[in-house]
Structure 1
Amino acid sequence: MSERKVLDSFPAGHPRGSWPAEERAAVLREQGESATVVMDLRTDRFLVVSKAGAA
């Protein structure tokens, strides 16, 4: 299993919820990065990460 690299993070308590993280992931995907958003319950943050198995 490949490790994911954290590319950015946003607080889960943001008034817009996960939208800032989703928007950042979309920008990274447009730039050719394989990015997705996951929730880190331990830190209560949305993480923008490289997709598993991405080069």
Structure 2
Amino acid sequence: MSRTVLERFPAGGPRGSWPAEEFAGARREEGVPARVVMDLESDAFLVIVEQRAPERVRE
């Protein structure tokens, strides 16, 4: 399974502001299965979409 990062948001946003969640919610309304994860190394919230790798056909 692979992940595609759609957008990244700094973790130090204003109190009560959830821009990553709002962005992911808007993508979900468009039919994109986006979700938010925390990248601890960069101290940022990432909006991602997980994609399954195509299955290989066995011969």
Scaled by the length of structure 2, the TM-score of the pair is: 0.78
Residue equivalent to 1:46: 45
Q: What corresponds to 1:23 in structure 2?
A: 22
How far off is 1:27 after superposition? 0.2
| Structure-1 separation of matches of 2:12 and 2:26 | 22
CA shift for structure 1 position 17: 6.4
Stretches of structure 1 that go unaligned for 5 or more consecutive residues are none
Counterpart in 1 of 2:7? 8
Q: Which runs of 5+ in 2 are unaligned?
A: 53-59
Detail structure 1 runs of 4+ shifted over 4 Å in the superposition.
none
Identical-pair percentage = 58
Aligned residues: 52
Which is strand-richer, 1 or 2?
A: 2
Taking only aligned residues, the RMSD between alpha carbons, in angstroms, comes to: 1.7
Larger radius of gyration: 2
TM-score, scaled to structure 1: 0.83
Whether the 8 Å contact between 1:12 and 1:18 is mirrored in structure 2 is no
